[in-house]
Amino acid sequence: MRKLTYFIACTIDGFIGDESGDASFMYRFVDEEFLAFLKAEYPETISAQGRRALGIHDLEHRRFDTVVQGRGSYEVALKEGITSPYDHLREYVASRTLTQSPDPHVEIIGADLVGKVRELKAEEGEFGIYLCGGSELAGQLHDEIDELVIKTYPVVLGSGMPMFGSGFALTEFTLDEVRVFDNGVVVRTYGRTS
């Protein structure tokens, strides 16, 4: 069975963006050291446009071959005129309001999100599924998430969009790895406790 990995950036106090979802204030922490880590370990999580700009569009997959993102996350790309932000992966967008995909490479999941993700997880393959965000989507898929990769940036917001937009659900994960960067970024990897 393939893993669903919630690979997400957040503040020290657990917010993935301000109340509107804007996370652009975190971009300044993507320095040379951190970018080298992303290119080596998680190149699929860099958008297609970013990969082309960095000259790494042809890098082979390391961890993922599929991305699932929410309408809000997808909207960030659409506002820039980008209809397929992860064209190097199979792309799914969960949305109850977007009924038709603006791109033939992007499939809209309008109903039974959990069922679709379970179907994707049941597929054969060596690569996993990248859960790109956002908060509400992660909340809906809470029980399906097998791994958390949390990139914590050294800032505190006080309020904003939480990592999981859902009700209280105590779930245990085991810390597998911690990586600390010179700029204060900490990347923690957790696996779901059985």
So what's the pLDDT on residue 99? 87
Tens digit of pLDDT for each residue in 28-37? 999 999 999 9
Question: Do residues 57 and 33 lie in contact, with contact meaning Cβ atoms separated by under 8 Å?
Answer: no
Express each pLDDT in 145-192 by its tens digit: 999 999 999 999 999 999 998 777 788 999 999 999 999 999 999 999
pLDDT, one tens digit per residue, over 39-48 is: 999 999 999 9
* pLDDT score of 134: 86
Architecture of the domain whose range is 4-192: 3-Layer(aba) Sandwich (3.40)
Asked whether the whole model's pTM tops 0.85, one would answer yes
Picking from 18-27, 124-133, 152-161, which range would have the lowest pLDDT averaged per residue? 18-27
pLDDT digits (tens, 9 = 90+) for 60-78: 999 999 999 999 899 989 9
Question: Which H, E and C letters describe the chain, residue by residue?
Answer: CCCEEEEEEEECCCEEECCCCCCHHHHHHCCHHHHHHHHHHCHHHCCHHHHHHHCCCCCCCCCEEEEEEEHHHHHHHHHCCCCCCCCCCEEEEECCCCCCCCCCCEEEECCCHHHHHHHHHHCCCCCEEEEEECHHHHHHCHHHCCEEEEEEECCCCCCCEECCCCCCCCCCEEEEEEEECCCCCEEEEEEECC
Question: What span, in angstroms and rounded, lies between the C-alpha atoms of 194 and 88?
Answer: 32
Whole-number pLDDT of residue 29:
93
**Where does the pLDDT of residue 55 fall: very low under 50, low under 70, confident under 90, or very high at 90 and above?**
very high
Q: Which residue carries 């509107």 as its tokens?
A: 20
How large is the average pLDDT for residues 22-30?
A: 90
Least confident range of 18-22, 94-98, 181-185? 18-22
What pLDDT does 57 receive? 92
Residue with token string 């790895």: 177
Q: Is the pLDDT at 84 greater than 90, yes or no?
A: yes
* Structure-token pair, residue 17: 């963006």
Sequence ranges of the domains in the chain = 4-192
Amino acid at 15: F
pLDDT value at residue 166: 79
Distances (CA, A) of 57 to 7, 47, 82, 138: 20, 9, 16, 27
